[in-house]
Structure 1
């Protein structure tokens, strides 16, 4: 099971999607939320954090670095515990990314199709080992 006080880092480059997803997460009861609009901003937030983020919720199509590469970088540096990709790519494309992540031992719980839905998000969190 999961807890609502998870430390979540939300990375989304589209301003509307960032605000909408932040609002949804807060309405779901998640209060430990840090947001940024780029991979560079995410790395800055992670480097400044006292402890690893529980969940990196990351858009796959960031302009400065693909989300899966950010997951890999953050994971190898111990800056996150688990990750979820958030994308509007097709499920076939996202399934391929998920298989690749698991093959490389990345802590990817899965992916969510935009817009974020509470039930799907919470279902993925039940897989988390936090």
Structure 2
């Protein structure tokens, strides 16, 4: 069962997709969302918060950095607790990347294909609750 009180930092560089993702998360029962269009906005959001975001939900392909670099930075600075990365990359490539990131000690729950399906996202979030 998902925890609807999760504070989620959503980083997506396409404004329409960012809005659509927020609406999708709202329909799933997640309302504590902080949107960011790029890494700089994400960094600023983390600096404004007194405690870390429960979850970083981040596109891997960002214009000013990539999601992996942002994840590494925010995790090491204590800005986030865990992360789910997403991309239009092939599923097998994302699975390899997920294993690599987890083995390097990064707090990654999953690397998922876009568009994010509700069931897939809830399964990944279930790992956080579990």
Structure 1 ranges of 4+ moved more than 6 A: none
Deviations 1:59-96 (A, max 9, x none): 00001111011111111111111000011111232223
- Which segment is superposed worse, 96-105 or 76-85? 96-105
Indicate conservation of the 8 Å contact 1:52/1:80, yes or no.
yes
CA separation in 2, counterparts of 1:95 and 1:40?
Answer: 27
Q: How many residues align?
A: 130
Deviations 1:13-49 (A, max 9, x none): 0111111111100111101000010011101101111
| Partner residue in 1 for 2:10 | 10
TM alignment of 1:15-34, pairs within 5 A: 15-34=15-34
Could you tell me how far 1:129 is from its partner in structure 2? 5.3
- Cα RMSD over matched residues? 1.4
Gaps of 5+ in 1: none
> TM-score by structure 2 length?
0.94
1:105 aligns with 2:105: yes
CA separation in 1, counterparts of 2:19 and 2:89?
Answer: 20
CA separation in 2, counterparts of 1:93 and 1:54?
Answer: 26
CA separation in 1, counterparts of 2:29 and 2:103?
Answer: 33
Gaps of 5+ in 2: none
| Partner residue in 2 for 1:73 | 73
| Partner residue in 2 for 1:94 | 94
